[in-house]
């Protein structure tokens, strides 16, 4: 009805308005009758051989025209994304090591393609999806698990494995690292929930071995800092902590543990957002490039 009223007021003629909207004159006359009933005003009245707008129609004309333009703008397909004009801040929630390893490449890519975009990284301290759901976080990285919200979208970024890390000069720097030598060391456990046991302990248990966990920390950085300054052994994901392990000795675990898949997570309401799609592509490309380089 707004579109019909806009055209009628612009044309000042039932016949011309009908032609413009590809309606029959009788259909347009019926539409005008409905508009008169709705507004409580004649809108267009006869003056000689033509129609002239009433004061109410003149009052409505500009407002109706703007409403129609706004509605068309809302419903029009999104225009092609112009990255050079994009001004937006994206919040990414990640675990320790992601920014240190992938941040430089991602920031360089974003700055080159969209100078007006700013990335905000926040620490991932829990596995819940609340921040994605409430919109405080745009993207998240992590391992999809049982508590990951079912509506969250996920796409694999890379596979990772756990390795052992010790300071340079540590006894495990030399010789074959057997399950027994590994278990006999003093260990740091990394757990956000404060748990002291995990897949590594299960694997050792099958061999009749048990490692001595002397401390439990909440993140990889803390574990590696302790290992760097002592004879403690840290066990961390390899690719996720590459730059954090600089100057330290890393070795494959002497027991079999499952690999993990680090994924990119987002809420489905952002699926069709062109800027968000572009950023997801940037993250995937940077992670893939990092894998190739390593």
Residue 37 has a CB neighbour count (10 Å cut-off) of 9
CA dist., res. 251 & res. 46, Å (int): 92
Task: Give 277's contacts (C-beta < 8 A, 6+ positions apart).
Answer: 271
The alpha helices in 123-241, defined as continuous H runs, are 130-133, 179-184, 199-206, 220-228
Q: Could you tell me where the DSSP H helices lie in the chain?
A: 2-11, 14-20, 25-39, 55-75, 98-113, 130-133, 179-184, 199-206, 220-228, 274-293
Element (H, E) at 49: none
Spatial separation of the C-alpha atoms in residues 144 and 179, rounded to whole Å: 29
pLDDT tens-digit readout, 135-155: 899 999 988 876 667 788 999
H/E run at residue 90: strand 88-94
Which residues touch 261 (CB under 8 Å, ≥6 apart)? 143, 144, 156, 157, 158, 159, 160
Domains of the chain: 2-75 (1.10.10.10), 83-160+261-293 (3.40.190.10), 162-258 (3.40.190.10)
CB 270 within 8 A of CB 81: no
What are the tens digits of pLDDT across the range 49-76? 788 888 888 888 878 887 887 787 667 6
Q: 113-147 burial by CB neighbour count: b if 16+ within 10 A, else e? A: ebeebebeeeebeebebebbeeeebbbbbbeeeee
8: nearest Cα among 72, 39, 75: 39
The tens-digit pLDDT sequence of the chain (294 residues) is 888 988 888 888 888 888 888 899 899 899 989 989 999 988 889 888 788 888 888 888 878 887 887 787 667 666 688 999 999 999 999 988 899 999 999 999 999 999 999 999 998 877 777 888 888 999 999 888 766 677 889 999 999 999 999 999 999 999 999 999 999 999 999 987 767 678 899 999 999 999 999 999 988 999 999 999 999 999 999 998 988 999 999 999 999 998 999 999 999 888 888 999 999 999 999 998 754 444
Q: What predicted TM-score, i.e. pTM, was given to this entire model?
A: 0.68
């Amino acid at each position: 009805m707004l579109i019909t009223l806009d055209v009628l007021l612009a044309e000042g003629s039932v016949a011309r308005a009908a032609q413009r909207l590809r309606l029959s004159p009788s259909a347009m006359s019926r539409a005008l009758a409905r508009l008169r009933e709705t507004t409580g005003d004649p809108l267009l009245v006869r003056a000689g051989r033509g129609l002239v707008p009433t004061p109410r129609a003149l009052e409505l004309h500009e407002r109706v025209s703007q409403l129609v333009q706004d509605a068309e703008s809302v419903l029009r397909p999104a225009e092609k994304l112009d990255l050079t004009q994009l001004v937006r801040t994206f919040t990414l929630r990640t675990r320790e090591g992601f920014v240190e390893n992938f941040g430089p490449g991602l920031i360089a890519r974003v700055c080159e393609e969209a100078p007006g975009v700013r990335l905000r990284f926040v620490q991932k301290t829990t596995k819940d999806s609340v921040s994605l759901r409430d919109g405080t976080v745009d993207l998240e990285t992590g391992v999809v698990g049982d508590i990951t919200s079912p509506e969250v979208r996920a796409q694999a970024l890379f596979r990772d494995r756990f390795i052992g890390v010790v300071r340079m000069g540590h006894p495990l720097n030399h010789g074959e690292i057997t399950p027994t030598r590994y278990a006999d060391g003093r260990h740091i456990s990394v757990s956000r929930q404060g748990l002291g046991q995990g897949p590594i302990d299960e694997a050792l248990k099958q061999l009749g071995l048990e490692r001595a966990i002397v401390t439990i920390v909440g993140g990889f950085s803390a574990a590696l800092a302790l290992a760097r300054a002592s004879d403690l052994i840290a066990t961390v994901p390899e690719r996720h902590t590459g730059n954090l392990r600089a100057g330290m000795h890393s070795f494959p675990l002497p027991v079999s543990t499952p690999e993990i898949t680090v994924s990119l997570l987002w809420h489905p309401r952002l699926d069709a957002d062109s800027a968000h799609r572009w950023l997801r592509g940037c993250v995937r490309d940077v992670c893939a490039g990092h894998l190739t380089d390593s």
